[in-house]
Amino acid sequence: MTTPSMTLYHSPLSPFVRKVTVFLHETGQFDRVALNTINMSPVNPDAGLNRDNPVGKIPALVLGNGTVLHDSRVILEYLDLQHVGNPLIPREGDARWRRLSLASQADAIMDASVLARYEQFLRPAEKQWDEWLTAQQEKIRRGLADFEAEHIAELASVFDVAAIGAACALGYIDLRMPNFGWREQQPKLAAWYAEVSQRPSMKLTAPPAA
């Protein structure tokens, strides 16, 4: 077995961390990384993570030379240069910007989903802002509707940075917002997600029920 040369600050419930671990499995690099699993929230930081990443966000990847990469997009760019298979992020041309834009849309859906979760479960009930929560949910619905109407063929064409992001976003919605009802409104996206959820990388990184 390969001795891990990198360490990933990890939480099994984070969709951004899952995106990195799915990517590691898909590129055959998972054994190169040791997972440093932490339990944190915006009001309960982790001292070790804050030392290595001053803004205290996960994922953060510690390389063998001590360099720390943070933000899942930066980590995926690095990892895609470290394997010998086909790149999961196009190197150049229109395809690169197209796939990165779809990946960014998936990230925005994740961001809105995480913020909605924080608003509902971390903020005291008397301080929750219903209009703000509704705005986050509307962002999610617009993003998913656009995937359904405009990009389903692109997502289905290859399981790359864009498709991985979309799959992890949908997995987080199912985990944290089980009554969101997105499948009824996006049946093609639901069928695609049902298929990619059977990939080994998705099964191996499925978060525990929370």
The answer to whether 168 touches 157, Cβ cutoff 8 Å, is no
Q: What is the pTM of this model?
A: 0.94
Tens digits of residue pLDDT in 93-128: 999 999 999 999 999 999 999 999 888 777 777 777
Tens digits of residue pLDDT in 62-101: 999 999 999 999 999 999 999 999 999 999 999 999 999 9
Q: What tokens appear for 154 in the block?
A: 């692109």
Q: What tokens appear for 153 in the block?
A: 């063929």
The answer to whether 23 touches 88, Cβ cutoff 8 Å, is yes
Q: What count of residues does the chain have?
A: 210
How high is the pLDDT of residue 1? 59
Strand 33-37 vs strand 60-62: parallel, antiparallel, or unpaired?
A: unpaired
Q: What tokens appear for 136 in the block?
A: 């986050």
Domains of the chain: 6-80 (3.40.30.10), 93-199 (1.20.1050.10)
The answer to whether 107 touches 73, Cβ cutoff 8 Å, is yes
Q: How confident is the model at residue 210 (pLDDT cuts 50, 70, 90)?
A: low
